Amino acid sequence: MRGRSYLRLQFIGILAVVAGLSACDSGSNVYVPPPPPKVNVAQPLQQPVVEYFELTGNTDAINAVDIEARVQGFLETIDYKDGTAVKKGDKLFSIQRDTYKAQVDQAQAQLASQQASQVGAKQEYDRQVNLMKQEVTTQTAVDSAKATLDEANASILNAQASLDLANINLGYTEVVAPFDGTVTDHLVDVGALVGVSGPTKLATIVQTDPLYVYFNVSEAQVLMIKQSLAKAGRKLTQVDLPTIPVEIGLGDEEGYPHKGHLDYVAPQIDASTGTLSVRGIIDNKDHALLPGLFVRVRVPVAHKDKALLVRDDAIGTNQQGTYVLVLGKDDVIEQRPVKIGQRDGSMRVVESGIEPGDWVVMTGIQRAVPDMKVTPEKITLEAAAATGDPSGSKVP
C-alpha cells in the first residue's frame, strides 16, 4: 500500500510540472528581427587632381671625385678632419714644397738670364741695322744679328714655359677641394711618400647638395608624358626638362617631401628592358639624403578637373578585384566593381564604376552586406580630407 501511495504522489507531481510548463507556453514568444545596421554614406568628392607616375629610383652624388697626389714627395700635413664638409679651395693635404720651390727659383733665374741675352741681341741687331743704313756693314751681318735676336726671343718663351710648369708643380704640393662637399677619411698618413709611380689616392670628396636621382620610365609612360607636354606646346627636350617637377620620398617618410625637377633623359630607349633612363636633380640643403638610397619617385603627368574620390578605407578587395558598397533602391546595399587610381592623402581616386550621385558606404562597412537593407546616415566628404596636390607640383 505504501508503494502504491508513493507512485501516486510522483505521478501527481509530474502532472503539476507539465501543467506549469503549459501555463508558461500559453503566451508564446514571437521572433523580432534586429533593426537594419546603421552605416554612413556619402557621395564621391569631386575636385581637381594631379595624376602622377609613381616609380622607384636611387640617389647619386652630383659630384664625386678622388683626391690624388699629382707630384712626388712626402706628405707633410692633413688639413681637414675626416668626414667634414669643406668649401671649394680649402686645403686638404700638403706635400713637401722645398724641391718644387727650388725648381721655381731655378726657372726664374733661367728666365732672367734669357731676358738679359735678349736685350744684348736686340741692341746688336739695332746697331747692325743702323750700320747698314750707313753702308758700313753687310747684309750678312744684319741677318746674323736678326737670327741671334730671334733665338733669344725663343729662349725666353722656353724659359717662361719652364717657369710656368715649375709653378704648376709647386701648386700641386697643396691639394685643395675642387668643389663644396664632404671628404672621406684619409687613405695615406703624414710622412708617407706619395706620387712615386703615378698619382696616389689620398681621399674622396662627395658633393650631395643638390643630389641626383636616377629612375627608369617605361615606353608607355614616355608616350604619355610626351602627349601631356604636346598639349602644353612643349617637347621632352633638355630645354623643357627643368619645367617638369620630380618628387622623392624615403621608405620611412610620409609622402614625397623632397622636391626637384628633371635634369636629363636618355636619348634612346633601352631595347633590352623597354625603359628610358631618366635623371632628376633634388635640393638637399639639409643633407637629409645620401647617395645610394632607394627612394620612391613620382612625376606629375596629367591633370583632371573633376576626379571622383572616396575614402581609401571604403574600397574593398576580393578575387574579382576592387569594389565599393553603394546604397541602392530601398536602402539595399549593392556591391559595385570599380577601377581605382592613385591615392590622394586619405582619399583614393575612382576612375570608373561609380557616378557623382551615388551614395557610397564610407563607414560601417563591416555591418553592410550586399543585398542587405541598412539604415543610412548621409554625410558629406570634405575637400580638406584629401590632399589635392600637397606638393604644389604642376602638370608638365
Is the confidence at residue 9, as pLDDT, over 50?
no
Widest pairwise Cα distance in the chain: 189
State residue 13's pLDDT score.
Answer: 52
State residue 250's pLDDT score.
Answer: 92
Confidence category of residue 254, pLDDT binned at 50, 70, 90: confident
Place of cell 615606353: 219
Confidence category of residue 14, pLDDT binned at 50, 70, 90: low
In contact, 350 and 310? CB cutoff 8 Å: yes
What the block records as the C-alpha cell of 332 is: 539595399
Question: Which among 93, 89, 108 is positioned nearest to 173, based on CA atoms?
Answer: 93
What the block records as the C-alpha cell of 386 is: 584629401
Q: Which amino acid belongs to residue 316?
A: G
Q: Which amino acid belongs to residue 327?
A: L
Average pLDDT, the chain: 85
Local structure of residue 254 (DSSP, 8 states): S
Domains of the chain by start residue, with CATH: 38-49+305-385 (2.40.420.20), 53-61+210-303 (2.40.30.170), 71-96+173-198 (2.40.50.100), 98-171 (1.10.287.470)
CB atoms near residue 333 (< 10 Å): 24
What the block records as the C-alpha cell of 274 is: 623597354
227 Cβ contact list (under 8 Å, min separation 6): none
Q: Of residues 262 and 7, which shows the higher confidence score?
A: 262
